[in-house]
Amino acid sequence: MFDSIAIVGATGAVGTLIRQMLEERNFPYEKITFLASERSAGTKITFKGEDHTVELLRPEAFEGIDLAIGSTPDPVAAEFCPWAVERNCIVVDESGYWRMDPKVPLVVPEINPDAALNHQGIIASPNCSTTQMVLAMKPLHDAGIIRRVIVSTYQATSGAGVQGQEDLVAGSRAFLENEDYKYQVFAHPIAFNLIPQIGSAKHEGYTSEEMKMVFETQKIFGDDSIQVCPTCVRVPVENCHSESILVETEKKITAAEARELFAATPGIKVIDNLAAGEYPMPADCSGDDAVFIGRIREDLSCDNGLAFWCVSDNLRKGAATNAVQIAELLVRSQAAV
Amino acid sequence: MFDSIAIVGATGAVGTLIRQMLEERNFPYEKITFLASERSAGTKITFKGEDHTVELLRPEAFEGIDLAIGSTPDPVAAEFCPWAVERNCIVVDESGYWRMDPKVPLVVPEINPDAALNHQGIIASPNCSTTQMVLAMKPLHDAGIIRRVIVSTYQATSGAGVQGQEDLVAGSRAFLENEDYKYQVFAHPIAFNLIPQIGSAKHEGYTSEEMKMVFETQKIFGDDSIQVCPTCVRVPVENCHSESILVETEKKITAAEARELFAATPGIKVIDNLAAGEYPMPADCSGDDAVFIGRIREDLSCDNGLAFWCVSDNLRKGAATNAVQIAELLVRSQAAV
C-alpha cells in the first residue's frame, strides 16, 4: 500500500473519473491529496463523503507523497513529473509527454504488466486510441503474431476534453436552429460533420495522433516490426472511440478462433451477431471499463487478415481505468515483496 | 438525341436531383414524362417552368419512350425495367437490382464508358459508396495496377433516403432535449452514435453494402483479381459519404505522384494540406458533383501502399450525377453514329 497518494489534474474530465474509480474500486491509502493548476486550485470536492480542497500543483506539493496519478496537458506533465520523482513519489502519468521516453515504461496492465515494475519513477499510460486497439490485438498477437495493422478511427469529442463535449452539444443545437456557433476546441465544425485530423501534422502526411498509434503500439508490444497504418477521424459522437481494424498475422486466425480468443481475454467483451443487428456502438459502451469487439470476420483481401470493429470508453479504459489499473499493479507488487 | 425521355421515381430524393440536373445541364429531349409509384403519382411538379403531373408507373407508361432514368427501390426496378425494355426503351437504372446481372453493364462514365454502349436495354449505375471509391482508384489503377483495397466508410444518413435524413435531425433534437424518438429507418439510434451495419448480413460476416463494394468494383474495372476488404459504417452526418481508403499497387506510387494523378482526373478535386488543416469534409462537399480527395500519404505498413481520404455527395456522383452522365454518354454516342 502507498500511504499517501495524490491525484494531479483532479478536476478535469479524466481526473474526475479517476477519483470516482478510486472510490468504487476501494483503492488503498492512508491520505489522499488533490492537486490542480492555478485555475482549479481551491475548488472544493467531496471524496468518500469527506470534503477536500484542491491544492495548488507545485514542487513542494509532492513532499511526503508516495504515488501520484496524473491526467494533465503535456506541458504540465513535463513540469510536474520531475518534481514528484525528485521527492521519491512514483507517477502514473496519463499525458502524452513521457510515453516515448526510453526510461519510461508505457503500460497496459493486460499486456505488459512487468514493464510497470521496471520504472524509474514515471510510468506512462498510452493514448486512448492506442489502448483499446492494443488490448484487442493482444490475444491475436499471442496466437498468430501480428505483422501489420490497418486502422481507421471514429473518435468521440470527449477525447478533446470537456470543451470538446460542449462544442458538440452546443454546435449541434446551433446547427439545428440554423444559428452560428463559435467552436472552442475544434478547427472546423464537428456537428453533423467529420474532421479527418486529430492532433497536428507530424510525419509524412500523418498526424501526431496517428503517429502515437504507430509508436506506442510498437513500444507496448516491445516489437518494432509491427507495422501500423492509421487514419484518425473525429466524429460527432459524445463519448467512446470506435475503430475499424484489420490485422495481418503470420499464422492464420479464423473468425471463429478470433471470437474465442477475444472472449477469453480479461477486459474484452464480445458483441457479435450481425444477423441479429448486434455489435458494439458508442452510445451503448459509455461508462463501461471494457473494450468491446464485434463484426469479427476474415479479411476478403488477404489470406491471413482478420477484420473487426472495436469500441471503448476513451475516458475509461482509454485513460482513467488504465491509469488506475497501473496503480493497482504497483500496490499488488508491493504486497508481493 | 432521345425524343421522349422519362424519370422513374421522379419524386424521391435522387429523382428530384436528377430532374434538377437535367434542367441545369440542358439535357436534350422533345418530351419528358415523370413516373412514380401509386403513392406519388398525381403529384404536381414544375420542370423548366412548366407544370407536370407525375404519372403512374405501369407497363404502358413506357410506350413511345426512348430513354428512362430510374431511381427506385430494388423490387420496383426489378419490375419496371423489363416493361421498358420490351417497349424498346433504354433504362439507366440507379437501383441495386440489375448491377451484377452479366447482361447489364455497370458504368462509371470516367472509367468504363464503352461498357455503356454495349447494353441490352438496361445500364446500371453503381452503389454510392462504390462510385466515389472506384473513381478515386481509377488514376492509381492506370498508373500502378491496384491489387488490394482496404476501405472503412463513414456514410451519411441521406443514403437511407429522405426518412434517413429526417431520422438524423429528429433523433438529434430528441437526444438534445432528453426525449424519446422512434426511428423510421434505422434499427439503432443514429444521433450522436455510429451503426457499423449498412444493409443485411450477406456473406461470411460482411453486409450487403460491403459486398456491393467488392463485386461492383471488380465488375467496373473488369478485373476479378482486385481484392477489396470493406467496413461500412453509418455516421451522424446528413449528406456526403466519406471513406478512409488504403490501396496496394503492383508498382509503387508516391504521395506526390498520387496527388498529381488525382488532380489530373476529371471528376476529382484534391484538397490536401494537412498543416493548414485543409482536407475534404462532408459539410463542405454537399451539392458538388466531384469526388474530393485529401490526406494523401504513403502507407506506413507496406511498401506499395497509398492511403487517402475520399468524400463525395452520395446523392450526386454517388447516384443522380452518375446516372445523368451515363444518359449523356448515350446521347453523345447517338450523335457520333
Of B168, B231, B280, the CB nearest to A309: B231
Q: Please give the average per-residue pLDDT across A126-140, as a whole number.
A: 98
Of B176, B193, B283, the CB nearest to A189: B283
Q: Does position A307 have pLDDT exceeding 90, yes or no?
A: yes
Mean pLDDT computed over every residue of chain A? 97
Q: Are residues A183 and A286 in the same domain?
A: yes
User: Measured between alpha carbons, how far is residue B337 from residues A35, A120, A146, B22, B330 in Å?
Assistant: 82, 81, 58, 23, 11
* pLDDT at residue A277 greater than cutoff 80: yes
Residues B39 and B13 placed together within one structural domain of the fold: yes
Beta strands in B220-271 (DSSP E): 227-231, 241-249, 268-270
Q: To probe the interface with B, which of A301, A308, A309, A314 has the most B CB atoms within 10 Å?
A: A301
Å from B266 to nearest chain A CA? 24
Residue type (1 letter), A283: A
CA A333 – CA A326 distance, rounded (Å): 11
State the pLDDT at residue A136: 98
CB contact under 8 A, A196 and B294: yes
Nearest chain A Cα distance for residue B96, angstroms? 20
The answer to whether the Cβ–Cβ distance between B300 and A228 falls below 8 Å is: yes
pLDDT tens column, A164-175: 999 999 999 999
**Which residues of chain B lie closer than 8 angstroms to A296, CB-CB?**
205
Which residue segment(s) compose the domain that A147 sits in? 130-314
Sequence-ordered list of residues with C-beta below 8 angstroms from that of A284, at least 6 positions apart, any chain: none
Domain check: are A271 and A197 in the same one?
yes
**B163 and B264, same domain (yes or no):** yes
DSSP state at residue A278: B
Question: pLDDT by residue for chain B (337 residues), tens digit each?
Answer: 899 999 999 999 899 999 999 999 999 999 999 999 999 999 999 999 999 999 999 999 999 999 999 999 999 999 999 999 999 999 999 999 999 999 999 999 999 999 999 999 999 999 999 999 999 999 999 999 999 999 999 999 999 988 999 999 999 999 999 999 999 999 999 999 999 999 999 999 999 999 999 999 999 999 999 999 999 999 999 999 999 999 999 999 999 999 999 999 999 999 999 999 999 999 999 999 999 999 999 999 999 999 999 999 999 999 999 999 999 999 999 877 6
Best B133, B150, B206 residue to mutate vs chain A (most A CBs within 10 Å): B150
Q: Which residues of A touch B298 (CB under 8 A)?
A: 204-205
Share of chain A above pLDDT 70, in %: 100
Q: Are B306 and B140 in contact (CB under 8 A)?
A: yes
**B75 within 8 A of B86, measured Cβ to Cβ:** no
Write the residue in A187, A231, A297 that is nearest to B309 by C-beta: A231
Strand partners, A245: A151, A308
Residue A190 pLDDT: 98
Q: Is A234 annotated as a binding residue?
A: yes
Same domain, B171 and B146: yes
Looking at the structure, tell me whether residues A106 and A58 fall in a common domain: yes
User: Which residues in chain A are contacts of B233 at CB distance < 8 A?
Assistant: 154, 242, 244, 309
CA nearest to A302 within chain B? B227
Q: Judge: A309–B275 Cβ closer than 8 Å, yes or no.
A: no
How many Å lie between the alpha carbon of B195 and the closest alpha carbon of chain A? Answer: 6
Q: Which of A188, A205, A281 lies nearest to residue B274, judging by beta carbons?
A: A205
Q: Report the pLDDT value the prediction gives residue B258, as an integer from 0 to 100.
A: 98
Distance of CA B13 to the CA centre of its chain: 13
Identify the residue whose cell numbers are 520504472.
Answer: A119
Catalytic site positions of A:
128, 241
Contact B274 A201 (CB under 8 A): yes
Are A181 and A115 contained in the same domain? no
Q: CA nearest B190 in A: which residue? A: A283
What's A202's domain CATH number?
3.30.360.10
Which tens digits make up the pLDDT trace of A2-29? 999 999 999 998 999 999 999 999 999 9
Q: Find, in chain B, the residue whose alpha carbon is nearest to that of A189.
A: B283
Q: In this structure, are residues A159 and A314 in contact, taking their beta carbons and an 8 Å threshold?
A: yes
User: Does residue A157 sit in the same domain as residue A219?
Assistant: yes
pLDDT in tens, A82-98: 999 999 999 999 999 99
Contact A133, A308 (CB under 8 A): no
Is the model's pLDDT at A335 over the cut of 80? no
CB contact under 8 A, B229 and A255: no
Q: Indicate yes or no: CB of A279 within 8 angstroms of CB of B196.
A: yes
**Annotated binding site of B for NADP(+), which residues?**
11-14, 39-40, 158-159, 314
| Contact: B277, A154; criterion CB under 8 Å | no
A64 and A153 in a common domain? no
What ipTM was predicted for this assembly?
A: 0.97
Q: How many domains does chain B have?
A: 2
Residue B337, pLDDT score:
60
* Residue whose grid cell is 494533465: A72
User: B159 and B66, same structural domain?
Assistant: no
Name chain A contacts of B305, Cβ cutoff 8 Å: 229
B270 shares its domain with B327: no
Is A15 annotated to bind a ligand? Reply is: no
Tell me the backbone φ, ψ of residue A106, rounded to 5 degrees: -115, 115
Same domain, A107 and A188: no
Tell if the CB–CB gap between A242 and B277 is shorter than 8 Å.
no
The distance from CA A217 to its chain's CA centroid, rounded to whole angstroms, is 13
Asked if B230 contacts A307 with a C-beta cutoff of 8 angstroms, the reply is no
Angle at alpha carbon of residue A213, lines to A210 and A214, rounded to 5°: 95
Cβ–Cβ under 8 Å, residues A194 and B282 = yes
Residue in chain B lying closest to A187 (CA): B277
Residues of B marked active site are found at 128, 241
Contacts of A307 in chain B (CB under 8 A): 229, 231
Nearest to B244 among A233, A237, A305 (CB): A233
CB atoms near residue B182 (< 10 Å): 8
Find the closest chain A residue to B225 by CA distance: A301
- Give the pLDDT confidence of B96-108 residue by residue, as tens digits: 999 999 999 999 9
Contact between A181 and A236 under an 8 Å Cβ cutoff? The reply is no
Q: Name the pairing type of β-strands A146-154 and A241-249.
A: antiparallel
Point out the residue among A195, A229, A299 whose CB comes nearest to the CB of B246.
Answer: A229
CATH number at residue B12: 3.40.50.720
The per-residue pLDDT for A337 is 61
- Whats the size of chain B, residue-wise? 337
**Mean predicted confidence (pLDDT) in A245-272:** 98
